[in-house]
Amino acid sequence: MSPPQEAPEAPAEQTQEAGEPAPRRSVKGLIIFLSVLLVLAALAVGAYYYYIRYYCVPIQQLEVVNGTLDSFQIRLATDADPSLLHLTCQDTYGNTYEAPLSDGTATFTGLSPNTQYTVTLSIDGFHKLTGPVRATYATGAETKIVNFTGVTGPEDGSVILSFTADGPKPDSWPLHYSAEGEEPQTRTFSGQNVTVTGLTMGKTYTFQLTAEQDFYLTGNSLTYTVGPAVVAQNLRVSSHTGSALTLTWDQPETPVASWTVRCYDSGSFDETTTVTGCTATIEGVNPDTAYTVEVTAAGMSQNAWIAITANPVSITDCAIQADGLSQILLSWTFAGDAPEGGWVLLYSYGNSEETTEAIQTEEPAAVISTVLPNTTYTFSIQAAGGATVLNGAYTVTTPEATSFSQYGLTPDQVFMATFPTPEDPDWATKDLVPEEQTTQFTTGSSIAFVLEATQGVTSSDEEVEALIVVRDAQGVPVDYYTGSAQWHTMWTGSKYLGQLERTPQTPGDYQLEVYFNRQLVRSMTFTITQ
C-alpha cells in the first residue's frame, strides 16, 4: 500500500494594493449589460406600443338602442376601421344572422318573436377587441288579436267591441277611434270587451287597440259603421201545436239582414235557427215543458226574449163590444186549465207605458168604463199567476164622438183658449190675463185653459161627466183626465176653467179636446218646446 499523498498547496491569494487601477474588462462588461438593458427596454416599449396602438382595438359602446317584434338595432362606438368589423347575432337554437355596419349602427331583421339573441362583434386581422363585444336582446312576444268584432250596443250611437287576445296581455288596453270630421278619441279599459257610446249615427269609425311598448299587436284594427239599435218588438207566440212553436214579432223600420232565434229549456233542449223574416218555427217541443226563446237581430247585442210556461192556456175566441163610448166589454173563451188567480187584462190607448192600464178579473171577462173617442185600444189577455197565454192579443177602435148639444150649448157657441197657469193655486177667472193667452209652452210649463160660452148657458143640477184628452200630432192619446159635477157648478159665469196636471215632455204639436157626457165641446192645438 502506498503512503497517502499530501494535497498540493493552494496558490497564494493575490491582493491588489491600494492605489492600483481596476481591470479594464469590468468596465466593458458593465457597458454591455447596460446596452442590453436599453435594447430590451426599447423592445418592450415597442411591443407595448404595438399592443396598445395596433393589436388592441378599443370598443367604447355596443348596445341595442331599439327593437320590434322581428328586428332590433344595435349601436357601436369605436375608432376602428368599420370595414374590418363584423356583427353577428345568434339565437338559442344556433341560427346566425349578420347585419352590415353603417354610420355606427346595424339592424338585424327577419328575426323570430319572443326569442333571445346574442350579438357578437369581431374584427379582421391580427387584432384584439377590448371593451364590450357582446350584447343580448330578446324580441317582443307577439299578441294576436283574434275575432276583433263590433255589434250595435244597447242604445243608438253605441257599439260593443269584443276580441280574443292570443299571447301576452297588458293590464289595460288603450283604444283609439275616430271618424271623418271628428276629433280622435281615446279611452282605456280592461278585459276583452268594451262599450263605446256617443258615436254619430251613420258614420264609419276606425277602432285601434294599442298596448304598452313591450307588447306587439297584430289584427288590432277594426272599422265599423254605426247604425241604430234594433230589437225584436212585440215578440209573441203565434202558434203552439204541442210539437212546434211559432214566434212572431213586428217588422222594424231599420232593415235587418237576418234574425237568430234560440229556444231552450232547463234540460238538454237547445235549438237555434236563423231566419230572414219576422217569424220562426221551432220543432220538437213538448206542451208540458217550459221554454225560453231569444231573438237577436244580425249585428246587434241586445235580444228580445219571451218565457213560455209548461201547459200554456190558449185563447180560442174573444168578443169585444165597443159600439158606444160608455164602456168596452170583453169576454173570451180558452182551451186548457183556468189559470190560478184568474186573469189580467192589459189595455193600452197610446204608445207608452203611461198609457197602459190593467184590470184583474176572476172570470174571462172585463169592462173598461172610461172610453176615449176615436182611439185604437190594444188588449193583452194574461194569466194572473204568470202562466203563458197564447193568442191573447186583440185590438179595437172606438167611434168618434158626436158634437155637444145640451143645456142650450153647441160647439160653435164656445170660445177656447190656453194660458200659463197662474201662480196662485186657487186661481180663478180674474187671474187669467188676456195678454197672456198663448199656444206656445215649454216642457216646464203648466197649462191652463178656458171655455167661454158666447151665449147664455142653461142652468141645471144634473151631474155631467167631463173628459179632457191630450193627443199627439198623429192623433194618439198621450194623457186624459175625467171628473163629474153638477152642470151649474162647472161654470163661473160664462166660463169653464181647467188645468192640465201633466205637461207633455216631448216637444211637438198636441191637440187638447174637451168632452161633456162623451160629446165633443171644443178642441185646439198647442205646441211644446224645450
CATH number of 142-225: 2.60.40.10
Instruction: Say if residues 262 and 272 touch (Cβ distance below 8 Å).
Output: yes
CATH number of 57-138: 2.60.40.10
Q: What is the pLDDT of residue 13?
A: 47
Residue 145's DSSP bridge partners are 165
Q: Give the whole-angstrom CA distance, residue 9 versus residue 457.
A: 184
Sheet holding 393-397, edge to edge: 356-361, 343-348, 376-383, 393-397
Residue 313's DSSP bridge partners are 389
Q: Give the whole-angstrom CA distance, residue 148 versus residue 209.
A: 10
Q: Give the whole-angstrom CA distance, residue 93 versus residue 73.
A: 21
Considering the segment(s) 235-308 as one domain, its CATH architecture is Sandwich (2.60)
Q: What is the pLDDT of residue 354?
A: 87
User: What are the cell numbers at 527?
Assistant: 205646441
CATH fold match for the domains 57-138 and 142-225: yes
Query: 402: helix, coil or strand?
Result: coil
User: What are the cell numbers at 386?
Assistant: 204568470
Q: Is 245 exposed, middle or buried (0-12, 13-18, 19+ CB in 10 A)?
A: buried
User: What are the cell numbers at 64?
Assistant: 341595442
Q: Give the whole-angstrom CA distance, residue 395 versus residue 135.
A: 83
Q: What is the pLDDT of residue 20?
A: 53
Q: Is 60 exposed, middle or buried (0-12, 13-18, 19+ CB in 10 A)?
A: exposed
The amino acid that residue 7 corresponds to is A
Name residue, grid cell 218646446.
Answer: 529
User: What are the cell numbers at 61?
Assistant: 359602446
Report the relative pairing of strands 204-209 and 221-225 from DSSP bridges.
Answer: antiparallel
Instruction: Say if residues 184 and 176 touch (Cβ distance below 8 Å).
Output: yes
Q: Give the whole-angstrom CA distance, residue 169 versus residue 176.
A: 17
For 32, which DSSP code?
A: H
DSSP per-residue codes, 56-104: EEEEEEEEEEEE-SS-EEEEEEESS-GGGEEEEEEETT--EEEE--BTT
Q: Give the whole-angstrom CA distance, residue 53 versus residue 180.
A: 64
Instruction: Classify the phi-psi angles of 82: left when phi > 0, otherwise alpha if psi is within -120 to 50, otherwise beta.
Output: alpha
Q: Please tell me the class of the 411-529 domain.
A: mainly beta
Q: What is the pLDDT of residue 294?
A: 98
Q: Give the whole-angstrom CA distance, residue 79 versus residue 506.
A: 81
Name residue, grid cell 212553436.
Answer: 245
Instruction: Say if residues 246 and 313 touch (Cβ distance below 8 Å).
Output: no
Counting DSSP H helices and E strands in the chain, the numbers are 1, 39
Whether this model's pTM surpasses 0.75 = no
Cβ-proximal residues to 2 (8 Å cutoff; 6+ apart), any chain: none
Question: Would you mind telling me the total number of residues written for the chain in this entry?
Answer: 530
Report the relative pairing of strands 328-335 and 365-368 from DSSP bridges.
Answer: antiparallel
Along the 530 residues of the chain, how does pLDDT read in single tens digits?
444 455 445 444 444 454 555 555 677 777 777 777 877 776 666 666 656 666 788 889 999 998 888 899 999 999 888 888 999 999 999 999 999 999 999 999 999 888 999 999 999 887 888 889 999 998 888 889 999 999 999 888 999 999 999 988 889 999 999 999 999 999 999 999 999 999 999 999 999 999 876 677 889 999 999 989 899 999 999 989 989 999 999 999 888 999 999 999 999 999 999 999 999 999 999 999 999 999 999 989 889 999 999 999 999 999 999 988 999 999 999 999 999 999 999 999 998 888 999 999 999 999 999 999 999 999 999 999 999 999 999 999 999 999 999 999 999 999 999 999 999 999 999 999 999 999 999 999 999 999 999 988 899 999 999 999 999 999 999 999 999 999 999 999 999 999 999 999 999 999 999 999 999 999 999 999 99
Q: For residue 50, what is the enclosing H or E element? A: helix 24-50
Instruction: Say if residues 519 and 324 touch (Cβ distance below 8 Å).
Output: no
Instruction: CATH number for 313-397: choose from 3.90.1150.10, 2.60.120.200, 2.60.40.10, 3.10.20.340.
Output: 2.60.40.10
Report the relative pairing of strands 233-240 and 270-275 from DSSP bridges.
Answer: unpaired
- Span between the terminal Cα atoms of the chain, in Å: 158
Q: What is the pLDDT of residue 218?
A: 86
Domain locations in the chain? 57-138, 142-225, 235-308, 313-397, 411-529
Q: How far is CA 74 from the centre of its chain?
A: 43
Q: Give the whole-angstrom CA distance, residue 424 versus residue 75.
A: 86
Query: 73: helix, coil or strand?
Result: strand
